[in-house]
Structure 1
């Protein structure tokens, strides 16, 4: 299912909520990866944890319209009763032209749209829309009047992040520097300005998403072999990083999944 990498214990989550994704309009596509909609109808509260990606999200919900910078820790959402939210997932680097400043300045922060744009009440037409298509149209009606000028650096940043996400063998920043033609220092400045986190964080987070996905896939996992494949110096190093990112050891998470 598209968009579920990073959703911990995805199999249980699928029984509690529905996740759909929708492509953005052509005008938004240079900046926005996709729109996502989550809906639920529960008799008992459910808490979902997510290990976030290097993306900024604009989320429309009953309680408000919020901009979430890149979250370096786990993100937790408690679902109660019946409801739905729509999120706009910006490409890595894609929010920089909208923000007009360093994306690192909003890392681990959440901003209300009223603080950002000076508008209030934009969330209700979105979450009250009749169906998915109407929700997406309402969200885009908020964004399109504020469309920024094209920024060629966004495409370059997307390419760099794509290199990381497309190659598990790329495990160090100096390797990314070599294939990109940029210095390590230039990569660090560029990522902090446009993505909100450094290239090392992006590499490490991609490895954690891959490890959790292997555990969620079912079947036995050779953790020592996986640690080597993902470029860790030893299994102990891998286990420490997995536990810090996921909240439990690899073996315990595998049993839970």
Structure 2
């Protein structure tokens, strides 16, 4: 199972934030929904830092709807004033209905025209009660209607996140291809079509997320031990991965997140 908390680098900095499983009707389309809300004092800023999952997100905010692609780096967002967002971390079966080329959205955010969806989510988030669940239900219904009956190829593509980033995920692209009963070349086409990056990049992201979580949550465990347990060649390899994606070393991250 995919751990939805794994990519949050500084949990103590999060504003009010809710993650929830999708309704049954949207289980084949959404891995989970995420809804942050904030109402900050004038002049106060909240820095949200995430090492995102390799997947596309459909995001609805007061100003509009956007499709956010897979990221190759740590991402930050500065929150000020008040606001909210309703996000859906998409499964491949949903991606196919929203874009024909996920690779064109890597490290990018593109406005998505869905005025009826936007109006309904804004109305739901303005409700006095159960606004989060109402908003989730609106997005789930919209995605289900757009996707219709899923073809076998989409259901097969939906197996990729579990194999590549789930608990006990594959350690190499070749292993992932074998688990999915496809050739390595086919798997490479699938990940670029539905996620935007290579299988190797997805596996590296999972390993770095796991490393960050272990560094943060287990301060008494040596970095060399964490590197060895996760299959890094050595401590230096782990440090290089941290620095290239997060912009800081594991030691600095452990200090900053404590």
TM-score band, normalised by the shorter chain?
0.7 to 0.9
Q: Is contact 1:97-1:149 (8 Å) kept?
A: no
Cα displacement (A) at 1:102: 2.7
Task: Out of 203-212 and 99-108, give the one that drifted further.
Answer: 99-108
Question: Who is 2:106 aligned against?
Answer: 107
Question: Who is 1:30 aligned against?
Answer: 28
The RMSD of aligned alpha carbons is 2.3
TM-score (normalised: structure 2): 0.86
Separation of aligned partners in 1, 2:148 and 2:72: 27
Residue 143 of structure 1 aligns to a residue whose secondary structure is: helix
Q: Is contact 1:42-1:82 (8 Å) kept?
A: yes
Pair 42,4 (structure 1): closer, same or farther in 2 beyond 3 Å: farther
Q: How does 1:193-204 map to 2 (within 5 A)?
A: 193-204=193-204
Cα displacement (A) at 1:11: 2.4
Question: Who is 2:210 aligned against?
Answer: 210
Unmatched segments (≥5 aa) in structure 1: none
Separation of aligned partners in 2, 1:147 and 1:154: 10
Separation of aligned partners in 1, 2:64 and 2:253: 33
Pair 23,29 (structure 1): closer, same or farther in 2 beyond 3 Å: same
Q: How does 1:57-96 map to 2 (within 5 A)?
A: 57-91=57-91, 93-96=92-95
Q: Is contact 1:85-1:127 (8 Å) kept?
A: no
Cα displacement (A) at 1:120: 8.6
Q: Is contact 1:48-1:78 (8 Å) kept?
A: yes
Cα displacement (A) at 1:172: 2.0
Separation of aligned partners in 2, 1:192 and 1:129: 39
Q: Is contact 2:26-2:141 (8 Å) kept?
A: no
Q: How does 1:157-168 map to 2 (within 5 A)?
A: 157-164=157-164, 165-167=166-168
Task: Out of 220-229 and 150-159, give the one that drifted further.
Answer: 150-159
Question: Who is 1:8 aligned against?
Answer: 9
Q: Is contact 1:172-1:200 (8 Å) kept?
A: yes
Question: Who is 1:188 aligned against?
Answer: 188
Unmatched segments (≥5 aa) in structure 2: none
Separation of aligned partners in 1, 2:178 and 2:141: 42
Give a deviation string over 1:36-84, Cα, whole Å, max 9, x none.
Answer: 1111222211111111112211111122211111122222211112222
Moved over 4 A (4+): 117-121
Separation of aligned partners in 1, 2:182 and 2:137: 39
TM-score (normalised: structure 1): 0.86
